[in-house]
Structure 1
Amino acid sequence: MKQALWSGRFENGMDDSTLAFTCSLDTDSRMAFYDVMGSIAHVRMLKARGIIPADDADRIEAGLKEILTSVEDGTFQFDRSREDVHTCIEFALTENIGPAGGKLHTARSRNDQVATDFRMYLRDAALHAAEAANGLMMALVRIAEDNGDTVMPGFTHMQHAQPVTLAQHMLAHAFKFSRDADRFLDAFRRMDKCPLGSAALAGTTFPIDRGMTSEALGFREPTENSMDSVSDRDFATELAYCCAQTQIHLSSLCEELVLWSSQEFSFIEMDDRYTTGSSIMPQKKNPDIAELVRGKTGQVIGSLTAMLVMTKGLPLTYNRDLQEDKAPVMDAMDIVISSAGMMAKVVSTTTFHKDRMMSVTAAGQINATDLADYLVTKDIPFREAHGIVGAAVRKSIDTGVNLEDMTLEQLREFSPLIEEDVYQYIPVMRCVERRNSYGGTSPASTDAQIARAVEQMMLRDETIRQEKQLIQNCWKTLLE
């Protein structure tokens, strides 16, 4: 039997099985750094407001810095008889400096302490995730920069639809990750409020300065309502959603790369460093990284589901259910950050077989829509033109002659309005070049998209850099 941490109310100590079941150290020990930094900010505020004696505050701060050193060098002993990282650190502090350590918890509760630590942890993780998504976007944009005239089939329903460029295809993925990176930064901004000082749920009778601790920890401002502050996990659920959406985009990219690396497509070959061989089939080169990233998507979606279900019926304010909020979100963030980083390496080292893409594109009737558009310029209603071209496509399939390779006489069998100028419309490269609408697949259009993508990445990089620097400056100030 273990003695309860706060045993005045209880006659019996905590059963070993209860302690084992309630202990969260395996997860929340990752927040040790943030817990110490939050405590340093808190004790400085207590000293500044005259809530505890200055000598005691100085001893507490010195003791916390010693603990931080041991945390960072890996020598801190997490006592598994304590139920969480916050209690571990508080008890270690008291053991090191004596009764003065017990004054650290004045004017705060574990409820606002945990909420603050978790926000600080996820605040950093959100910036890392935005940076990882931005890095993958950069890898895709670099491929686009080199492939503005590389033609490939565009697909709908996994059927050849219209010719596009490899640049356009890569940019389609790039802008998905641009939105993902922005979502992480949006979530960062919403969580950038400090709960510390909300205490258990109702605030505190001590004359604290919440603005001081908020500023010391690099938050934009304190949270507005003490009850909401200790019960809110919107920030964690929102990040879980950001992770799920990003991982879905990663999975889509991976699915295409897996298909494109198959012998049936032969569009790409992945670098040996990011593939594996078979245990019995020496000819195989397996796209394992892409498959693993695709496979991890279920776990990330599960993390979002866990957060939604965990919080769906909780009454105000804090409930112990919220101890279970950290593992799913931390896992989701880890997976997304590592997956985006790995896929940036996979993409940037992949070889694209441009001739194969072009030959496959030219082999079908992928320019059928362009022939229909041509007939519309001859004042034929589009639906009628659609039917005319459908007949031409059937003839192309039956004879094995591509539309652009038919003679003018053959094409005029389907409409007497077809003239020599049709050959300015239906060659595959002309199909691509003429799609110069904003956001289209022409080289001119993709050049504009690349410029816009680079602008987005640069602005985002600067935002991430500034936010990281602000936080690092706060840590530096607290450790001085």
Structure 2
Amino acid sequence: MSKLWGGRFNSTTNSDLNKLNCSLPVDSRLFAEDIDGSKAYAKILKEAGVLTPTECNDIQKGLELVRYEWIEKLIKLQDTDEDVHTVNERRLIEIIGNVGEKLHTGRSRNDQVITDMKLWMKKAVSEIKLNLKLCMGAQIEIADLNDEVLMPGYTHLQRAQPIKFSHFILSHAFALHEDCLRLVDYEKRSDILPLGSGALAGNPFNIDRNLLATYLGFTKITQNSMHAVGDRDFIVEFIFILNMIGIHLSRLAEDLILYATKEFNFVRISDEYSTGSSLMPQKRNPDSLELVRGLSGKIFASLSGLMMIIKGTPSTYNKDLQMDKSFVFDGFDYLKSSLNVITGVLKTLKINKECMLNCLSSDMLATDLAYYLVRNGTPFRTAHHTVGQVVAYAETLNTDLEKLNMEDLSKIGDFRSDVRKVFDYNASVEQYDVVGGTSSSSIRKQIEYLKEFLKNF
């Protein structure tokens, strides 16, 4: 069979170009979306009087037979097939005859492929949302079960202030919460049908594009055909959101990798998500989390690669855009794997609360000492400087803050006998009873907020 566009050419295409031009190894993934779009387009052609009801019915049945061949892996490809669109059209014509040649009336692969991508991405967003819900659900469950566990909080990887372990794990859940909001916003703004734009000038057969949008589950239609066929912003934005999720998973992975070391020993990653060393028998390596961390880089490569391709393309469709699909498919697959793995790690994670508690030290209550002075009327900057002197003095004695005697403390600042109540880690944590704080009541509100959010997400 000759190529769909071969009528004006007098010689065959160079074999190297044929290989480069063929996108089937990648875009065959769109076979179902391409068939769905074609079935809807056939109905619109019938409404416009281009197809008779019988012809439309024959096309509908023929396309379902093509779908069956794809699903059952019965489809046979030919050298003249360039992409999933040409395969589906060729098989349709082979199954129902010349009436199949009418299906492409007024339609171009330019508006066909971008419609297929939008249909595929609707499903992809739904899958990512489901995986995010599972991952966040695992984080919420950990926070729920460990709401009394204290641990050191860190800035600059240095011990900073006591916090609840639940507060730590929920901080990562709220990062994913932001990604959920991005996906919700993305769904609304990308819900625009490009089909009916033709190659670049539009469709001359008086089709009802709004009805076509309804058939395919879109709420809006594109308003400029030239922009529609060349637009890949929605793909860039989708991969950007995948990147943000990947970055957040990578940061969670890094925290857990650190906390699983012997030096921290705050958590233990299950054997199911650990590997060993080919040389050192004692090793339990967090390869699952390291791979998640690494995959975030590959997702970023998908984003940067696509942006480099589209930055120099002139108006409307250009063949460079054929390469967009490999980037979006790769980014999606990498992220889905990452979400599945990290959710499994979280569900099997063991918490070492005793070790976390033992790593709390009184120097982490230095800020509480400053707040003690503030509550007694000292300006915060003065209190901060005073407690800094207390810390320095304790270091000269090589002792903990709580072991300093009242005589030494009172010489440095306005410390009274009740200052001893400051050295209570639970009291320290509970004072942060503000929305977003690390107190027990605040954490309960965070958990309830996220649970309610996921119910409606």
For normalisation by structure 2, the TM-score amounts to: 0.97
2:423 aligned partner, one-letter code: I
1:455 aligned partner, one-letter code: E
Q: CA offsets per residue over residues 100-138 of structure 1, 9 Å max, x none?
A: 111110121111100100000111101111221222111
Q: CA offsets per residue over residues 24-45 of structure 1, 9 Å max, x none?
A: 1111000000001111111111
Shift of 1:80: 4.5
Task: Classify the secondary structure of the residue corresponding to 2:252.
Answer: helix
Equivalent residues in 2 for 1:93-132, closer than 5 Å: 93-132=92-131
Equivalent residues in 2 for 1:50-65, closer than 5 Å: 50-65=49-64
Equivalent residue for 2:429? 432
- Distance in 1, matches of 2:184 and 2:234, equals 12
Task: Classify the secondary structure of the residue corresponding to 1:367.
Answer: helix
Which of 373, 376, 396 is equivalent to 1:375? Answer: 373
Q: Which runs of 5+ in 1 are unaligned?
A: 461-480
1:102 aligned partner, one-letter code: E
For the 8 Å contact 2:3–2:81, the answer to whether it is kept is: no
- Distance in 1, matches of 2:181 and 2:335, equals 15
Mean Cα displacement is larger for which, 130-139 or 15-24? 130-139
For the 8 Å contact 1:3–1:13, the answer to whether it is kept is: no
For normalisation by structure 1, the TM-score amounts to: 0.92
- Distance in 1, matches of 2:141 and 2:408, equals 43
Equivalent residue for 1:396? 394
Task: Classify the secondary structure of the residue corresponding to 1:108.
Answer: coil
Equivalent residues in 2 for 1:239-318, closer than 5 Å: 239-318=238-317
- Distance in 2, matches of 1:397 and 1:83, equals 73
Equivalent residue for 1:475? none
Which of 448, 451, 454 is equivalent to 1:451? Answer: 448
**2:427 equivalent to 1:423:** no
Task: Classify the secondary structure of the residue corresponding to 1:329.
Answer: helix
2:185 aligned partner, one-letter code: D
Shift of 1:4: 4.1
Q: CA offsets per residue over residues 455-476 of structure 1, 9 Å max, x none?
A: 111110xxxxxxxxxxxxxxxx
Task: Classify the secondary structure of the residue corresponding to 1:204.
Answer: coil
Equivalent residues in 2 for 1:10-89, closer than 5 Å: 10-89=9-88
State percent identity of aligned pairs. Answer: 39
1:43 aligned partner, one-letter code: A
Equivalent residue for 2:139? 140
Q: Which runs of 5+ in 2 are unaligned?
A: none
1:55 aligned partner, one-letter code: T
Task: Classify the secondary structure of the residue corresponding to 2:161.
Answer: strand
For the 8 Å contact 2:47–2:207, the answer to whether it is kept is: no
Equivalent residue for 2:385? 387
For the 8 Å contact 1:127–1:188, the answer to whether it is kept is: no
2:193 aligned partner, one-letter code: C
2:448 aligned partner, one-letter code: A
Shift of 1:404: 2.9
CA RMSD of aligned residues (A): 1.5
Task: Classify the secondary structure of the residue corresponding to 2:281.
Answer: coil
- Distance in 1, matches of 2:264 and 2:315, equals 56
Equivalent residues in 2 for 1:110-189, closer than 5 Å: 110-189=109-188
Q: How many residues align?
A: 457
For the 8 Å contact 1:296–1:335, the answer to whether it is kept is: yes
- Distance in 1, matches of 2:62 and 2:391, equals 80
Equivalent residue for 2:364? 366
